[in-house]
Chain A
Amino acid sequence: MELKLRNEVVNGLIDIVGVDAVISDKSELVVYECDAYTMQKNLPSAVVLPGSIDEVVRVVLLCKEFNLPIIPRGAGTSLSGAGLAIDGGVMIALTRMNKILEVDPRNRRALVESGCVNAWVTREASPYGLFFAPDPSSQSACTIGGNIATNSGGPHTLKNGVTTNHILGYEMILPDGSIEWFGVEPDGGEDVEGYDLRGAAIGSEGMFGVVTRALVRLVKTPAYFKTFLAVFDSVDQASCTVSDIIAEGIVPGALEMMDQVITRALEQAYKVGFPTDAGAVLIIELDGLTGGVEQQASQVELICKRNKAREVRLAKDDSERNALWKCRKRAFGAVGRLSPNYVTQDGVVPRSKVPEIMRFIGIVSEKYNLCIPNVFHAGDGNIHPLILFDERNPDQVKKALLAGNDILTKCVELGGSVTGEHGIGAEKIDFMSKQFTEDDLEAMKKLRTVFDPDQRCNPHKMFPGSKRCSEFIVKKQASA
């Protein structure tokens, strides 16, 4: 952006939010050049940290006046580059709007600002025996607004459902500056007249507007848990166990798999007693009422044994259970010890196809001579192969991309999807045309047009043919 214009925009932003809430210095902007997907980097023209809904509206109106892209951002934990400022533009980071406004235990809901951290909601709700169900691994950092943008999942969404099942309503500032409330109103009943705009805009990856407040559903904390660590000699045995549990009609609270590379890395980092010689482990958590959980626990143990589990360990108490989950959620981090770089895939297959896709990943790993450890939501069929590479080695970078491509293509072939919870973002644009026809994509674009006719909100994401390096024509209206 030309300097004079940039200064004008920055001064306009400072007028709205104050000088300490605008970042425009290049050295500071670097923090915002990417999110947790680090394969691509783009500098925003400016970052603004509004402190109120009114400030968000005024910032959005300023962007409209200057015809600038708006990039909404939560905590920047996206794994698909959903928060990249591909064409520059004004990044609206909501991290200062992070309050929990109200917890209403009687009606099992909470009203929060969109920058509120996911885990805080459960922390505030737990004294009432309630929790917010979506629990992405980044939950100690990621925001509710980001969860709405990507329709986030997490280990416990197997039984409880994903974000769209737990967001009652929310406020969105559209790119034209209008303030809308979609879905259930803070004091309203759960049936809402008209089209389900709440549902239509969840998972829209920040391309429809800026979410400022959300009304979330709280769920009763289960009365009883039983959490197992089942140890297997091979990934195949663990995969077959997963398929068998689901086929038996058991829906555990969570059903996660970690293979040997992951358990070794975790054991090195945290020393929790994972067997480092096992091919794979499953974390199987059953929750509910005592009788039913006990009944399912014996079924699950039987299925594990039938698949030749070496050992089925029961977490003795809450602290053992918490330790297991802490490890699971730190798995991506521990992989940092193994390799300078990695790229995470997020494919989904029908649950009965888990063994098949795991075998396929093994073949891909051999084909490209790359280490591809796995830690994933096995019960949902949502795989997360971590493709390890060294970005200093161009051949490895190429192979890592090819390996990811092979795996996701296979997921689609098996009747699945290229993303279960991370989103398309900037990363998986090319896969959209493998999974959808031109007409399917056109219909999605119609929806976007309704919310953002100028395609100014988080541009160049999701759709094939997005002008990835093109320029937005910056025009300042002469009369303004």
Chain B
Amino acid sequence: MLIKPDSILKLQQLMVDADKIDQVDLSNINQLVEHVPEDMTATVQTGMLVEDFQKKLLRGSQWLPIDPPNPKEITIGDLLSANLSGARRFGYGSIRDWVLGMVVVLPDGKLVRNGGKVVKNVAGFDLCRLLIGAQNTLGIIVEVTFKLLPRPEMEVNLFKQFQELSQAEENLEKIWHSDLQPVVLDLYRIKSQETTMVVSFAGPIADVETQAAELISMGFKSGISLGYDAAFRSKSCYSQSVLPSKLMSSLSGLGDMDFVARAGNGVYYVRENLFKNRAEISSVFGLEQRLKMEFDPLNKLPKLQLK
């Protein structure tokens, strides 16, 4: 069943009562608990939309530097449970790097806090990392505390188009081995013969301008938005992750298929599922089953879906 609790307490009750919960709608549990700009931290209920959260953080000129596609439609809870990320992943990492603590409702209805509100904390085991990307299969995250960053003074997106992947590779290697510090290092080919490389810089104006100038001297141009990522990924798509050094050979293997690739991370997205049956090779399957049995012995919550 789908449940839509109007409070955390109600969610706890529903978890106790229900036999099976397929989906939890947390849109009524969506308040900003606190934003402490001077600590660069914020605590929020997970039903809040990602975009609404980012807007609230503007008050302190801060942000959570994770940019999943469609922030107007997805909640903080979605971001956490599916471990979402966007084009800026190369510069800022993924959501696991920004979570300081969380409050979770377990399948037995208990409310559990893990981690805390400070930027460094090793008291107890780390359930936060466990629950990120766990697709609400072990418990429902209802509140989370993030470490934040100041909004960059400036951000510039640059692009360059290539007829051949090999030319793109040459540019990529040059950037990779330089002192440049891009926050986006993407390649994509969407309905086109050409491959586009996107490089973004963010931070103090002086740094952004110097780095952008260096790319312009390599033939890059400014004036592109990062919207291609959401546009491509909002329709059904599949991801694959390889060693960054092997990305180019993987992309060559795609023939003329469309793709969006995080070149710095070795991750790429395509329309077709080329990677079936990967689940079979998971070596830690036994432990994962034990985890599920330990946290959700009655199987109230869904099973983990492998992508």
Chain A residues within 8 Å of B, Cβ to Cβ? 104, 106-108, 150-151, 153, 157, 161-162, 164-165, 178, 180-182, 187-200, 202-204, 220, 223, 243, 246-247, 249-251, 288-292, 294-296, 348-352, 377, 380-382, 415-424, 428, 431-432, 435-437, 439-444, 446-451, 462
Contact = CB atoms under 8 A, between A and B. Distances in A.
Contacts of A417: 116, 118, 120-123
Interface of B: 36-41, 61-62, 93, 96-97, 104, 106, 110-114, 116-130, 132-134, 138, 149-150, 176, 179, 181, 203-207, 209-211, 239-245, 265-267, 278-279, 282-288, 290-291, 294-295, 304, 306-307
Contact of A291 (B39, B113, B176, B206): B206
Contact of B267 (A187, A190, A437): A190
B240 A450 contact: no
Nearest to A294: B206
A200 B126 contact: yes
Contacts of A436: 113, 123-124
Going nearest first, the 6 A-B pairs with the smallest beta carbon separation are A199-B129, A291-B206, A189-B241, A249-B150, A292-B204, A191-B241
Nearest to A158: B119
A379 to B, nearest CB: 9
A417 B123 CA distance: 7
Given A107-B245, A200-B125, A420-B122, 10 more contacts: A165-B97, A187-B243, A188-B242, A195-B133, A220-B181, A415-B117, A417-B116, A420-B118, A424-B124, A447-B130
Contacts of A295: 204, 206
Contacts of A194: 282, 284-285, 288, 304, 306
B284 A348 contact: no
A419 B121 contact: yes
Contacts of A197: 130, 284, 287-288
A444 B114 CA distance: 9
Residue with the greatest number of chain B CB neighbours at <10 A, chosen from A203, A246, A289, A420: A289
A151 B203 contact: no
Contacts of B61: 249
Contacts of B111: 439
Nearest to A179: B283
A441 B150 contact: no
Contacts of A462: 124-125
Contacts of B138: 195
A440 B128 CA distance: 12
B195 to A, nearest CB: 20
A243 B38 contact: yes
Contacts of A153: 120, 122
Contacts of A431: 123
